[in-house]
Amino acid sequence: MKSRSASGGLVYSTDSGRMCPTCRQPIDHCQCKAAPARPAGDGIVRVSRETKGRAGKGVTLVKGLPLDDADLTALGKKIKAHCGSGGTVKDGVVEVQGDHCDKVMALLQGLGHTVKRAGG
C-alpha cells in the first residue's frame, strides 16, 4: 500500500475542499496555479440526462459552458431556481436534480447560448 506522501498527498479536506497536489493549498488559494484548467470547448452547450451512479435517480447535466467558476456557479443557481430543483456545480458541469432538459435548453437559448441535446 502506498503512503499518502508517495501518492501525492492530501487531495481533499473537509475544511477547505479540493487541494492542489503541488503547493498543498486549497485550489482557491493555489500559489503555483497547477490546478487543471478546463479545456476550451467548441462553443456548444450540451444538455443531457443521466442516471449512472445515482441509484436510478435522474439528473440533468449541462456541459460546455464557456464561463469561469464564479459565473458558472451563478448561472447554476439561476438554472436550479428556474427548474425549482436542487443541484450542484462540479468540475465545470452543472447538475440539476430531475429531468429538466427542455426547461434548461429554453433558458440557455434565451441567454444567447448555442444549445444541443446530448444523449437519448
Question: What is the model's pLDDT at position 62?
Answer: 92
Q: What is the pLDDT of residues 86-107, one digit of tens each?
A: 998 988 889 999 989 999 999 9
Go through the domains of the chain in sequence order and give each one's CATH number.
7-35 (no CATH), 44-117 (3.30.780.10)
Q: Which residue has the higher pLDDT, 41 or 49?
A: 49
pLDDT tens-place string over residues 43-63: 788 999 988 877 888 899 999
Q: What is the DSSP string of the chain?
A: ---TTTTTS--EETTTEEB-TTT-SBGGG-SS--SPPPPP--SEEEEEEE-TTTTT--EEEEE-----HHHHHHHHHHHHHHHT--EEEETTEEEEES--HHHHHHHHHHTT-EEEE---
